[in-house]
Amino acid sequence: MATRTDTSAPEGIKAPAKAIEGRSLGRIAWTRLKRDKAAMAGGITVILLILMAVFAPLIVGWLGHPPNEFHQDNSLLAAELGGLPRGDFLFFESSGISGDFLFGLEPQNGRDLFSEIVYGARVSLLIAFLATLVSVVIGSALGVIAGFFGGLADTVISFLMNVFLAFPLLLFAIALVGVLPDTAFGLSGNSLRIALLIFIIGFFNWPYIARIVRGQTLSLREREFVDAARSLGARGPYIIVKEMLPNLVAPILVYATLLIPTNILFEAALSFLGVGVQRQVVGEPGVTWGGLLSDAARNSVVHFMFFPGMAIFITVLAFNLFGDGLRDALDPKSKR
Amino acid sequence: MAGPAGLVCPAGPAAQAEIVVTFFIRRTIGAALMLLVVSIATFLIFFGLPRLAGATPETFAARYLGRTADEHTQQLFAEKLGFYDPLWLQYWNWIKAIFVGTDYDYGTGIEHCAAPCFGYSFRTNHAVWDDLLDRLPVTVSLTVGASILWLVTGVAVGVLSALRKGSFFDRAAMTGALAGVSLPPYFTGLMFLYFFSYQFDLTAPGGTYVDFTDNPGEWAYSLILPWITLAMLNAAAYARFTRAGMLDTMGEDFIRTARAKGLHERVVVTKHGLRAALTPIITIFGLDVGLLLGGAILTESTFGLKGLGYLAIDAINKQDFPQIMGVTMFAAFFVVVANLIVDMLYAVVDPRVRLS
């Protein structure tokens, strides 16, 4: 058993030279994070977004109308159907925005845009989180194997990483989604699509995690506590799980947080291009922000572009702010 | 940085040249291997996966023939197009056609498809290769203009931010850059189109493209919004990279040495700091340009520019397999070649690379 004289906190990121009052690195990181206003704002926004996705039906019941309800009789909407007048670039006149419809109405079919945005968070976050999980599992496993065992394993995995990193990924993902059937693996419709998107997005992004984990493992492998464990008779798997993994948690956490916004953008791009989750008229609506934007592009109605676009922007920005802050907080070398 | 790094390499000029040549050969083989992997993956996606999902040779043939063809015609065509062959043979024939061309026997006569043969489109019956060449100028125009724009602005902002770390400019620029990387290009593109083209009539509407050879002025006018949209996203990312790189290098010993020698601060920053910080940026730049040359999918579909990315989406929506396979291979080729060029430039600039 390795005796680690310093704190039990992650060492993958070098521990500070002087431990102040014996605070653990986790505590120090938390203190730093709390002081970083931008990161905290990002974190709080993320939590609110998650709550919004989870309680979508409640929020819509309280502030909006069911996402599949059509409001075609709305007089404000009628003006819009005749084409948007030039000069109305502030869009409030013809969008149908009111206390009743907070973000206005979808042109032509008159669905409540607010409800659609709220429901859109569900698909977006679900896919982004689970796809990140897939990347983290594949990336950490392959990264540790490549870094720890070296040799042929490292050569093969590093080659694979280069192939993936130099791939026209979006093109491949689109091709892959486009070629798959409507029913497979006992799933059908949107549940199949969501599962496929999670797998595809996660599968294409593992090298980002693997590269970091491999690098960290390479340097950890040379550390004294690993030598100590080995000299006490510990085997590879034990060293990986008990000695390395705790030290890899921090970098994995940081890069997973930064991968989530990338995956949100990925999913939104696929939906924008029409190969994402499809709109349903019954049951779970399957609205996506990217899909709404793509409809908006066809209609050229500005409030309809603005709200879904802002939803993507705010979500991605919040995750980026939080991820950046987390990285700075966990990395004492950071100069900010 | 060639100076101090060169000292690391103990070998003479002849031995160094040999190292460079071996490095180049190794990288070229690596690139060829990469294309091989991409081609296998592409082929499996379109011909292996559908089989797993229950497609038969007849359904493949039906894609060429349209839905009206009867079963007998389907079987005949599946036979002619080799869909009954084992998968590896079909792959081999596909690759062979790309390198040496192939002959299609339609019963009514033999049609020759010349060397880079990616087959014929399901819909238009055009040779896929001709379609690719047809779309290339749009994508190249978009990529070249945008890449110059984002490289210059991104690096400039990044350097200024790093030199004035913590200043108001730095904080504003970095907040802007973070917002920039969080903005999807199709959102900014749509908003730009709406305001600048539709409301204020300052720029060309979506879907316009004028060839450079027809009218350079109109060409730039039709591309200005796509350029800005595409450049914004990347400029933001490059500003962040450059700033981080500059902060790292400006803390290095050789910068202190340069200052200690009494060099002018401007020389220290440009000749020593920026040069070292730029090397990784150029690597990413090469890859990004390569990736975009294969089709700036999102920007092209936002602005209705009929380049390679637009072709790809169109082909996928219409399940036009020969076309989409052609675009994918074409795109992969650009990425791999860009990768190779960057590696080689890197080896010339930084001798330490060759030794690893």
Instruction: Give chain A positions within 8 Å (CB) of B49.
Output: 176, 179-180
Q: Using an 8 Å Cβ cutoff, are B133 and B123 in contact?
A: no
Higher pLDDT, A92 or A30: A30
Q: What is the pLDDT of residues B238-272, one digit of tens each?
A: 998 899 888 888 888 888 888 888 888 888 888 88
Test the A interface: residue of B37, B143, B190, B301 with most A CBs within 10 Å: B190
What is the model's pLDDT at position A243? 81
- CA gap A127, A136 in Å, rounded: 14
Strand A183-184, strand A187-188: pairing: antiparallel
What is the model's pLDDT at position B352? 63
Average pLDDT over residues B285-303: 86
Q: Using an 8 Å Cβ cutoff, are B246 and B158 in contact?
A: yes
Amino acid at B196: F
Q: Residue B255 half-sphere exposure, CB side, CA atoms within 13 Å?
A: 18
Q: Using an 8 Å Cβ cutoff, are A217 and A249 in contact?
A: no
Q: What is the pLDDT of residues B104-128, one digit of tens each?
A: 666 666 677 777 888 788 777 788 8
Average pLDDT over residues B319-339: 85
**Nearest-5° Cα angle at A169, B219 to B277:** 75
Nearest chain B residue (CA) to A182: B53
Cβ–Cβ contact B49 with A under 8 A: yes
- CA gap A121, A103 in Å, rounded: 15
Q: What is the pLDDT of residues A203-251, one digit of tens each?
A: 888 888 998 899 888 888 888 888 888 888 888 788 888 888 888 888 8
Question: What are B244's two structure tokens?
Answer: 């981080």
Q: What is the pLDDT of residues B56-97, one digit of tens each?
A: 777 777 777 766 667 777 777 777 777 778 888 888 888 888
Q: DSSP per residue over B31-67, as a string?
A: HHHHHHHHHHHHHIIIIIHHHHTT--HHHHHHHHH-T
- CA gap A32, A35 in Å, rounded: 5
**Residue B104 φ/ψ, nearest 5 degrees:** -100, 130
Cβ pair A163:B37 closer than 8 A: yes
Residue keyed to tokens 């200024």: B160
What is the model's pLDDT at position A8? 44
What is the model's pLDDT at position A82? 45
Q: What does pTM read for this prediction?
A: 0.83
Question: What are B279's two structure tokens?
Answer: 């090397």
- CA gap B303, A309 in Å, rounded: 16
How many contacts does A have with B, using Cβ atoms within 8 A? 129
Cβ pair B191:A272 closer than 8 A: no
Instruction: Give chain A positions within 8 Å (CB) of B324.
Output: 175, 178
Of B45, B181, B290, the CB nearest to A175: B45
User: What percent of chain A clears pLDDT 70, i.e. is strictly above it?
Assistant: 75
What is the model's pLDDT at position A150? 83
Strand B110-113, strand A187-188: pairing: unpaired
Burial of A62 (0-12, 13-18, 19+ CB in 10 A): exposed
| Angle between the N-to-C axes of helices A113-149 and A302-330, in degrees from 0 to 180, rounded to the nearest 10 | 30
**Residues β-bridged to residue B105:** B110
Q: What is the pLDDT of residues A249-284, one digit of tens each?
A: 888 988 898 899 999 999 999 889 888 887 777 667
Quote the ipTM score. Answer: 0.82
Lowest-pLDDT range of A93-97, A153-157, B41-45, B277-281:
A93-97
